[in-house]
Amino acid sequence: MRIVTLTEETKKDILENLLKRSPNQYGTFEAAVGEIVAAVKEKGDQALFAYTEKFDHARLDKTTVQVTEEEIREAYTLVDEKLTEVIRKALVNIRDYHERQKQNSWFHTTEKGTLLGQKVTPMARVGVYVPGGKAVYPSSVLMNILPAKVAGVSEIIMATPCDAQGKVNPAVLVSAQEAGVDRIYKAGGAQAIAALAFGTESIPKVDKIVGPGNIYVALAKKAVYGNVSIDSIAGPSEITVLADETANPRYVAADLLSQAEHDEMASAILVTTSRSFGEAVSREIQEYLKVLSRREIIEKSLDHFGYILVAADRREAVDTVNSIAPEHLEIVMSNPFEVMTQIRNAGAIFLGEYSCEPLGDYFAGPNHVLPTNGTAKFFSPLSVDDFVKKSSVIYYSREALEEIHRDIEQFAACEQLTAHANAIAARFEGKES
């Protein structure tokens, strides 16, 4: 990994380089995605099955596109029982964490005859997209389904790619069954997003689509937004480690590589106040690369988007982290809890040398669907809130409205909205003005 001394110029260059990974920068793919989305919207199953055969080399029809109970039972026989038990343990942690996020409807009344409140209503049907391709992610199944389940969503539909034989990864199926999914469809890529957004003869339309995916999935979610809601437009995975000389360089190197192995567009960045520590981490990375199975992907990721940034002091280091606004942030310093209070922008924050990023990916409980590519400045992790709607509730008695009706009429007159003013005034015709 390249070691860079932080200056305003180098920080600007690095941030610009990282932003190249945003789905908003991939205009060359938008036309192809738009064509797929339009075809599925117009032709439904016909287009869905044609694209599935083209991209996934699987021939499906109305009778085979939905995963059957028999296929789910078979999946349980193919997954190691120990892994199934781990999935169940992780499920408990994830569910318990999200239970704490639940919000209830609330109402406030006054003696003057008013009632104001907020009604919280779960969505009726949501679509969960689970990616395939270079790796399979049963952990993403749990992270997307469980908050919807906790929120009280009536129907949860999952779409995930199948292989050329029409089979879905068994661990993905087991995770979905354990989490409580209602239906699973063998559909991937932009065509799956379009099917969920508009509905086809086989796949029902949903109210919201959540879940990460490749650039085609991200751009498809962007294209259908407005017809349905989406969680966010996710970019490639990323990690930033904020560390000082008290950290273990071997641990830090391992954690950086844990994200670099996702794909060639992933970003791994160390921000430190010690150049010698940065050099030690770089050496450890080279040692790990000799034995890691996804070495080629990791090397491409580090060559393009990997950095060891040396800051003059802790303040500059923290400011740099806030500018990057990373998806995952590890703070491995002598005082991580104090430093954490200075962090404004991060999807998930891991404190101390034993709170490594994979702990959050799989087991701890907080959601691992996180804002990427700087969007942690204004987006939050996937949560129960993503699966509910909030309606304002307003009630005024005649007596309560009479007390303030002239104020409202004056406000409406100021905006020259006479019909607004009239709707209030009509209720008090014949009264003194």
Q: pLDDT higher for 17 or 278?
A: 278
pLDDT in tens, 336-374: 999 999 999 999 999 999 999 999 999 999 999 999 889
Angle at 213 between CA 210 and CA 216, to 5 degrees: 110
Instruction: Say whether pLDDT at 118 is over 80.
Output: yes
Tell me the one-letter amino acid at 66: Q
pLDDT score of 6: 85
> Which residue, chain included where needed, has tokens 């307003």?
394
pLDDT score of 25: 59
pLDDT in tens, 148-185: 999 999 999 999 999 999 999 999 999 999 999 999 99
**57: which 2 tokens?**
């080399």
Under 8 Å between Cβ of 188 and 52: yes
User: What Å distances lie between residue 231 and 372, 396, 412, CA to CA?
Assistant: 12, 36, 36
* Angstrom distance (rounded) from CA 382 to CA 367: 6
> In a 3-state reduction of DSSP, which class is residue 172?
helix
> In a 3-state reduction of DSSP, which class is residue 361?
helix
C-alpha Rg value of the chain to the nearest Å: 26
Angle at 218 between CA 214 and CA 220, to 5 degrees: 115
User: DSSP of 89-140, one letter per residue?
Assistant: HHHHHHHHHHHTT----EEEEETTTEEEEEEEEE-SEEEEE---SSS--HHH
pLDDT score of 131: 87
pLDDT score of 58: 94
pLDDT score of 24: 60
pLDDT band at 74 (very low <50, low <70, confident <90, very high): very high
Instruction: Say whether pLDDT at 28 is over 90.
Output: no
Tell me the one-letter amino acid at 218: A
Measuring CA to CA, which residue among 386, 392, 360 is closest to residue 150?
386
Under 8 Å between Cβ of 93 and 175: no
* 290 phi and psi angles, rounded to 5 deg: -70, -20
H or E stretch covering 41: helix 27-43
> In a 3-state reduction of DSSP, which class is residue 3?
strand
pLDDT score of 214: 83
Under 8 Å between Cβ of 339 and 32: no
pLDDT score of 8: 87
pLDDT score of 281: 96
Instruction: Say whether pLDDT at 433 is over 60.
Output: no
Give the residue numbers marked as catalytic: 327-328
Mean of the pLDDT values across residues 304-329? 94
pLDDT band at 75 (very low <50, low <70, confident <90, very high): very high
Q: Where are the alpha helices (DSSP H) in 239-373?
A: 249-260, 275-289, 295-305, 314-324, 336-340, 357-362
pLDDT band at 11 (very low <50, low <70, confident <90, very high): confident
* Angstrom distance (rounded) from CA 177 to CA 72: 8
pLDDT in tens, 240-291: 999 999 999 999 999 999 989 888 888 999 999 999 999 999 999 999 999 9
**341: which 2 tokens?**
């209070």
**375: which 2 tokens?**
């969007």
* Angstrom distance (rounded) from CA 390 to CA 195: 26
**288: which 2 tokens?**
């790990």
Q: How far apart are the first and last CA of the chain?
A: 77
pLDDT score of 265: 84
Angle at 123 between CA 117 and CA 127, to 5 degrees: 155
DSSP 353: T
pLDDT score of 22: 66
Paired with 390 in beta bridges are 120
The maximal CA–CA distance of the chain, rounded, in angstroms, is 89
Under 8 Å between Cβ of 352 and 342: no
Instruction: Say whether pLDDT at 18 is over 90.
Output: no
Instruction: Say whether pLDDT at 70 is over 70.
Output: yes
